[in-house]
Amino acid sequence: MLMTKTPTEAEIAGKLQRLSQLRAAIGQAIVGQDEVVEQLLIGLLAGGHCLIEGVPGLGKTLLVRTLGQALSLDFRRVQFTPDLMPSDILGTEVLEEDHGTGHRHFRFQQGPVFTNLFLADELNRTPPKTQAALLEAMQEHQVSYAGVTHALAEPFFVLATQNPLEQAGTYPLPEAQLDRFLLNIRVGYPTAEEERAILALTTGGTIEAPKAVMTGADIVELQKWVRQAHVSDGLLTWITRLIRATRPGPDAPSAIQDYVRWGAGPRAGQALVLAAKARALLHGRLAATREDVVALAAPVLRHRILLSFAAEAERKTTDDVVAALLAALPAPARD
């Protein structure tokens, strides 16, 4: 495996300036939601996928489409429904005939997953059979059909949405699939000022599509830089302790013993390290800090912790548990 050369300060400054331009381009169509946009970019830079939760009408689809336009990436959206089949996502084989020779052969026709940005809208509205069709694509960046493996384009970024309120007629995502999402991003209501700005922006003239400020090649290069970002031994030890402390046991913090039925696995630790590295790069640093870990602990862990009935009875959320975990295991002193 070839090692990527360490970027120079000039290269970092140039890419960071373009990342700032990218955030500004997204801001032309998206009002507010700064934290959501940052977490979305962190997921992209870390090479992971994001699960976006929010009620309808908060601009989730517009956000993803705007990101694709600003990055000059191919974007596909699929509305997941109860009758959606795996072949509707992955593709299927079609029988073709050569009119000259009369020879017939099967040709694989690619589905919408063969793209750079794939929006799985309301993923929990389709049965597990179709939900599972995305697993190989998300983990391996490839699709297997009829014994043949088809590679996906890079970068490949899955964003799935689900409505956290409406549960009738839905199929909860299995833990194995939830674990494939790097971040669980919560989209809340805008502030009064932001909502007024949204009304003014969307009810006037035509909104111009943002100009492309980066390419897919730029993102792939930045993803390599993220891998090279530094994490100190002390920070790595603390992240390991945090992840292991989410699992109920005699040595776990009281909040975990009282409210958690099943804790996070090793993939959560990998996600937290990569996300912290990506946030550091987004903020112009080549080394992750404890502030990066604290900022991303909830998005990384909130879909990987299974709460107990006691937590539900006391209206405790996974974010409450993560906050208690961070309080019980404070960050180490700066190196």
Cis amide prior to 155 (ω within 30 degrees) = yes
Going from the C-alpha of 227 to that of each of 29, 47, 156, 292, the distances in angstroms are 31, 10, 17, 15
Taking only the tens place, the pLDDT of each residue in 40-64 is 899 999 999 999 987 777 677 778 8
Cβ atoms of 46 and 277 within 8 Å: the answer is yes
Distance of CA 278 to the CA centre of its chain: 12
Query: What is the phi/psi pair of residue 94, to 5°?
Result: -120, 145
Query: What is the per-residue pLDDT across 171-217, written as a single tens digit (0 to 9) for each?
Result: 888 888 888 899 999 887 877 887 887 787 777 666 667 777 788 88
At residue 2 the predicted structure's pLDDT band, cuts being 50, 70 and 90, is very low
**What does the pLDDT average to over 99-121?**
82
pLDDT of amino acid 20: 80
b/e sequence 133-158, b meaning 16+ C-beta within 10 Å: bbebbbeeeebebeeeeeebeebbbb
The arithmetic mean of pLDDT across residues 264-291, rounded, is 92
Element (H, E) at 47: none
The span from the CA of 76 to the CA of 89, in Å, is 10
pLDDT digits (tens, 9 = 90+) for 210-260: 777 788 888 888 898 899 889 999 999 999 999 999 998 888 888 888 889
